[in-house]
Structure 1
Amino acid sequence: MLQVLVGTYALVWLITGIAPLDRHDWFLENLLVFAVMVVLIGTYRIFPLSDLSYLLITAFLTLHAIGAHYTYSEVPFGFWIQRTFGFARNPFDRIVHFSFGLLMAYPIREVFLRVANARGFWAYYLPLDVTLAFSAVYEIMEMVIATMVAPGTGDAWLGTQGDVWDPQKDMGLAALGALLCMCVTALIRRLRAPRPVLLAGGEA
């Protein structure tokens, strides 16, 4: 499954790498992608994730590739949403941050289940906590890169669109996405859980 998804994402990456709106921003946006792909491919044989986790990760990376091609504040689909719903800004950046929590919390949960044997409350809380931590670290990295590595591409790289609370809102949306993911996961597990069989006397 991973091989198919890597091939699919490689095609998406190549297409979105053709004539991006801002080549410097595109390169910066893909630095973490390179690291993620190295980790996923390098750990595939010794620590393979489920097909669903790989699918969710690929879906998020695809959204990120689209944002990197146009820069997040200039994605055409985001402008369509902005016009349709009367938003004050292009919301694609917000959508991807929400999607980070929604799509990445499940793979993170899978890692906790297998490595830390997390169960019960902790199996749902820890993925939410780590998702928020990753989101905060990413916002800090964005700030460092914008101010030290690429001061000339700060607005395109950060995608704040004039919102001074943009980092906090991005982290909040990532947490909300992770919370929704964990709620859906818990609901599905509850529905799939075997129910006790009632005997003739009404006892389980």
Structure 2
Amino acid sequence: MIDYQLQAKHWLMLVLLGLAMLLASINPMEFSAYVLHQVGTILMLIVLLLLFKKVGLNFSSFVFYLIFLLIHILGAHYLYSYVPYNEWLEWLLAVTLSPEAAENYNGQQGDVWDAHKDMLLATLGAILAGSWNLYKDRKKALD
């Protein structure tokens, strides 16, 4: 169902986002950069509210937009390049997997070129997909 008016569930999510922003404001890594990033967060929140009233959103879209803003708030606090996502993922896997499975997962990360290989494969995949789409578009234009 598409909503055009903020309901209690929307206000609750906005209060939680505001609380996250308040907590992220406590001792950020670099305050001036944090404030600059948060200006973008506030502008995007204004865009969300304007679109919500004009176009309407269902609740799940509203929540996903706020999750994106929450990730942005977290990145602003840690200056993006220092966000400990990878450490959190490894910790989560270590506490949820069996000790053997966690060791196998962490043991696979011993390859110093692993990230480079991943990026190479992602780049090659993007080039291949882009080339295929370009080929199909040109073929369609000629027909």
For this structure pair, what is the TM-score category when the shorter chain's length is used for normalisation?
Answer: 0.5 to 0.7
Q: 1:73 to 1:86 in 2, by over 3 A?
A: farther
Aligned pairs for 1:38-187 (under 5 A) are 38-81=46-89, 84=106, 85=109
Aligned to 1:16: 24
Deviation for aligned residue 1:87: 8.2
Aligned to 2:4: none
Distance, in Å, in 1 between the alignment partners of 2:13 and 2:89 is: 28
Q: Deviations over 1:5-55 (max 9, x none)?
A: 211101111101111011111112222211111122234333221101001
Q: Deviations over 1:71-104 (max 9, x none)?
A: 112123334558954587xx9xxxxxxxxxxxxx
Name the TM-score, length of structure 1 as normaliser. 0.38
Q: 1:40 to 1:87 in 2, by over 3 A?
A: farther
Q: 1:19 to 1:50 in 2, by over 3 A?
A: same
Structure 1: unaligned runs, 5 residues or longer = 92-164, 173-204
1:29 aligns with 2:37: yes
Partner amino acid for 1:54?
Answer: F
Q: 1:65 to 1:5 in 2, by over 3 A?
A: same
In our comparison, the structure showing a higher alpha carbon Rg is 2
Aligned to 2:57, the other structure's residue is in SS state: coil
Greater alpha carbon shift after TM alignment, 39-48 vs 24-33: 39-48
Distance, in Å, in 2 between the alignment partners of 1:54 and 1:8 is: 13
Identity of aligned residues (%): 24
Q: 1:77 to 1:69 in 2, by over 3 A?
A: same
Q: How many pairs does the alignment contain?
A: 92
Deviation for aligned residue 1:59: 1.1
Structure 2: unaligned runs, 5 residues or longer = 1-8, 92-105, 127-143
